Amino acid sequence: MFAKFAPFATVLALALGAAADLTLSTPASVPQCGKITFSVGGATGGYSMFVVKPSDPCGDSIVDVHGLSGPTFEWIANVPEGTPVQFEVEDNDGNAGWSAALTVGAGDASCLSASSSSSAAEETPSSSAATTSATSTSASRSSTVRIAASDVPVNAGSDTSAAFSTRSLSGFAGLAVAAAAAVLAL
């Protein structure tokens, strides 16, 4: 009976090995408007960071930061207190690393716009003056990426069928691998 699962187990082992190459180290807590330092290992070329809702990690992201490089980067947590978040990094080859789910804690409100300061866990960023900042450092250089929410369309259209990305594929693949591992454990 186990012989028919051998090819599947081999593919699963290879997928788990490939997924383990990209790592994301996050702090234990995320204060509202606090400066957060992330460490990334195993990224191929540059990478992007996504802040997503743990209840829908493959859905629309709360924050996208692109053009990062180097082993560490900093981000100002411009997400309201009480918002559940999860972090994902994705490198140029589509490899992804995920954090555990966290809830944004108390902090000051200096980085929030008036419309995002009300703490609503399911609220998405408005297209007002909310800005995301991330700093990526390496041994030889440092760069800061700033993205205004108005530069990133949020739910730009009602037809979401065309909004299929590699982030969605990597999230689906991760869920499929976890489900397969659970079946094999039985």
Q: How far apart are CA 50 and CA 76, in angstroms?
A: 13
DSSP 3-state assignment of 73? Answer: strand
What pLDDT, on the 0 to 100 scale, is given for residue 114? Answer: 64
Q: How far apart are CA 50 and CA 48, in angstroms?
A: 7
Instruction: List domains and CATH numbers for the chain.
Output: 22-154 (2.60.40)
What pLDDT, on the 0 to 100 scale, is given for residue 17? Answer: 45
Token digits of residue 135: 């700093």
Residues of the chain with pLDDT under 50: 2, 5-20, 117-170, 172, 175, 177-179, 181-183
Per-residue pLDDT tens for 110-143? 998 865 544 333 333 332 333 344 444 444 333 3
What pLDDT, on the 0 to 100 scale, is given for residue 68? Answer: 92
What pLDDT, on the 0 to 100 scale, is given for residue 164? Answer: 32
Which of these, 43, 53, 102, lies nearest to 73 by C-alpha position? Answer: 43
As a 3-state breakdown, the chain gives helix, strand, coil percent values, each rounded to 5, of 20, 30, 45
What pLDDT, on the 0 to 100 scale, is given for residue 129? Answer: 33
Find where tokens 């009602």 sit. Answer: 158
DSSP 3-state assignment of 39? Answer: strand
